[in-house]
Amino acid sequence: MSVAEFVAGWISGAVGLALGHPVDTVKVRLQTQSGYRGILDCVMRTYRNETVRGFFKGMSFPLLSVAVANSVIFGAYSNALLYLTATHHRDRSTNPPSYAHILTAGCFSGLMQAVVLAPVDLIKVRLQNQTHPYWLRSPAMGPGAHYRGPLHCGVSIFRKEGVLGLFRGTWALVLRDTPTMPIYFLTYVSLCQAVTAQGREPGETRIQCRGLPSLPKQGEETAGNWDSCSGRWVVLLWVLNN
């Protein structure tokens, strides 16, 4: 992966994260807190008590690490695929991976993503569930902001719970990501094969489609950011928030 691709992946991932984070904050609060009557009530109360900034709580840490996240996901997948097929990048066209190889490499990618990014997800959820502004300190008697930001949140968890505390909910993440990432990569590879012109191979940075301009490949990482496994997601949020 070139520097240009790495930067492009970080920018596209960061934009997608910034656009979707307010919705994610509302979703997390509805799934983990019982005091809201619905989506609109959650949105109105969040805006009334915390202003617009309340919708973006916990975003800075994932925003800074989105490039690392994409590198982990696609790096683990690519290297696992090369190991399973016993080929080099240049030889992949002569020995394409089977569906079994794609699914296995996808499982490994999901596993690595869950383990490496567990602390990032934990801090994000803890901050999203904090319904008071950062500047409102938590007094001895009464509610307030428990964490002043992502760094303070991470340090507080480490001091109280140790290193293992930062990886709370990792097994729930593994159960969520390990079975879903193979489906994501299998769908992506199938679409690549469907839109690639006959007699050509998908390039490292673009896919040439029949009768269409070349399609950038860097948008691939945004498709896996939202999964539909709501049951596993609710369990994960409960573990991270407790």
pTM, rounded to two decimals = 0.68
Strand, helix or coil for residue 141: coil
CB 12 within 8 A of CB 219: yes
pLDDT tens per residue, the chain (242 residues)?
A: 556 766 777 787 888 888 999 999 999 999 888 889 999 999 999 999 889 988 998 898 888 888 788 888 888 898 898 888 876 655 556 667 888 999 999 999 999 999 999 999 999 999 888 877 655 554 443 444 578 888 999 999 999 999 999 999 999 999 999 999 999 999 988 888 788 766 666 654 444 444 434 434 444 444 444 444 545 555 555 555 55
Tokens of 132: 């008071």
Going through the chain in order, the beta strands assigned E by DSSP cover 206-207, 215-216
Where exactly are the structural domains of the chain? 3-241
CATH number for the segment(s) 3-241: 1.50.40.10
Tokens of 137: 């300190």
Length of the chain, in residues: 242
Q: Which residue is it, tokens 């993440």? A: 173
